[in-house]
Amino acid sequence: MEAGVNCRETYTMRDFPSFGESGVQVADSSSSSNTKAAQYLVTCVYQCKLRGRSYVITITWFKNLMGQGFGVAIDDSTNQCLCKRKGCKNLEADSKKIVIYWDVSGAKFGAGPEPLEGFYLAIVVDQDVSLLLGDMKKEAYKKIENAPGHCNAIFIARREHIFGKKFYGAKAQFCDKGLMHDVSIECDTLDVKDPSLVIRIDSKVVMQVKRLKWKFRGNHTILVDGLPVELFWDVHSWLFGNAMGNAVFMFQTCLSAEKLWNSQSVFDPSVLTWSHSQRFRDYQSQGLGFSLTLYAWKNE
């Protein structure tokens, strides 16, 4: 988060990039530069519990020509964008008192907008610590007053925009607090008569699709950490769309209910939508597992 960023402290998510089935959608898409600037997004979705009630916290890290920051949404009833390096913000939504504490003034970043270390982000709802991110937890608790130390958030979904020409890479966990894996996507659609799609997890090929022009959408089950993971892909825009189109890859892990809370569905259908598979909608309605969605954009 650069000093001097010309960004309002708060604004509604109508001013913020939103996700659609075909990729990122921007409120003002009058020029391609707006679309390009809005693509540096990482969205993480967490399921939380408070006194027997479940709610969803969505954190969206963003980076554009104006600088970088993050957005916070709680059950879609409150949406805030925060661009300062550190601070505290008080909110109220649905009779819940919400306080957001954050410090990324000394954070280290990679190529994307999400901080890697040297930061904290804490969200306190009705004096309970609902979400605590980062490696500076001691510093966070010094700022939090009269709030219990237990954080019960479950990481349920991640959406990320990745870039490349032939190879696309990302880091991913396929379940809450699971092992970190390297995800590699290889697809050459330029000057290739018969393009193919290869996906690797930790350098191991887990799926290969030949005759991709006939199989530009589909799904396949792979195993990661001994868990079945349903992999969906849609590369129609790469093969038949315009140069600015993106492919979409979704990894959906299905876990047993015993490994999560015995509660109602954790997914809001508006948060993640995939129209090509009834099986994914079944998983979504059951509220089981973790979902990783990668939007892959070709560099010009």
Compute the residue count for the chain.
300
For residue range 102-138, list pLDDT tens digits in order: 999 999 998 889 999 999 999 998 888 999 999 999 9
d(CA 250, CA 98): 32
pLDDT of residue 243: 62
pLDDT of residue 191: 62
d(CA 255, CA 111): 31
Contact between 56 and 48 (Cβ < 8 Å)? yes
pLDDT of residue 193: 81
Q: Which residue has the higher pLDDT, 73 or 259?
A: 73
What's the token pair of residue 210? 């030949």
* 234, pLDDT greater than 70: yes
Residue 137 lies in a domain: yes
Give me the DSSP letters along 101-168.
EEE-TT-EE-SSSSEEES-EEEEEETTEEEEEEES-HHHHHHH--S--S----EEEEEEEEEEESSEE
Domain shared by 216 and 86, yes or no: no
Q: Averaged over 166-190, what is the pLDDT?
A: 88
Least confident span in 10-19, 52-61, 73-82:
10-19
Domain shared by 142 and 213, yes or no: no
Domain shared by 265 and 181, yes or no: yes
Domain shared by 146 and 250, yes or no: no
* 21, pLDDT greater than 50: no
Q: Averaged over 240-269, what is the pLDDT?
A: 60
- Which residues partner with 297 through β-bridges? 163, 246
- Phi, psi (5° rounding) for residue 240? -125, -5
Side-chain-side CA neighbours of residue 93 (13 Å): 18
Domain shared by 288 and 175, yes or no: yes
What is the phi-psi region of residue 32: left when phi exceeds 0, alpha when psi lies from -120 to 50, beta otherwise? alpha
* 148, pLDDT greater than 60: yes
pLDDT of residue 283: 41
- pLDDT over 70, % of the chain: 70
Q: Looking at the 3D structure of the chain, how many domains does it have?
A: 2
Domain shared by 142 and 178, yes or no: no
Residue 4 lies in a domain: no
Residue carrying structure tokens 């709610």: 55
Domain shared by 121 and 142, yes or no: yes
Residue 7 lies in a domain: no
124, 152, 180 — which closes off a domain?
Answer: 152
Domain shared by 145 and 233, yes or no: no
Q: Which residue has the higher pLDDT, 91 or 190?
A: 91
Domain shared by 140 and 168, yes or no: no
pLDDT of residue 279: 39
Domain shared by 190 and 247, yes or no: yes
Residue 8 lies in a domain: no
Domain range for residue 142?
Answer: 13-152
Residue 226 lies in a domain: yes
Nearest CA to 19 out of 224, 287, 270, 217 is that of 270
Residues 6 or more apart in contact with residue 88 via CB below 8 angstroms: 99, 100, 101, 102, 143
Nearest CA to 42 out of 146, 203, 170, 195 is that of 170
Domain shared by 146 and 170, yes or no: no
131, 152, 173 — which closes off a domain?
Answer: 152
* 176, pLDDT greater than 80: no
Domain shared by 91 and 198, yes or no: no
Q: Averaged over 146-161, what is the pLDDT?
A: 82
Residues 6 or more apart in contact with residue 73 via CB below 8 angstroms: 13, 57, 58, 60, 79, 80
pLDDT of residue 125: 87
Q: Averaged over 12-19, what is the pLDDT?
A: 31
Nearest CA to 145 out of 119, 120, 131, 124 is that of 124
The predicted model scores a pTM of: 0.76
* 277, pLDDT greater than 60: no
- Which residues partner with 230 through β-bridges? 221, 252
Amino acid at 247: A
152, 177, 192 — which closes off a domain?
Answer: 152
Residue 262 lies in a domain: yes
Distance of CA 208 to the CA centre of its chain: 25
Nearest CA to 230 out of 300, 170, 149, 288 is that of 288
d(CA 77, CA 82): 16
Residues 6 or more apart in contact with residue 267 via CB below 8 angstroms: 156, 157, 284, 285, 287, 291
d(CA 105, CA 175): 29
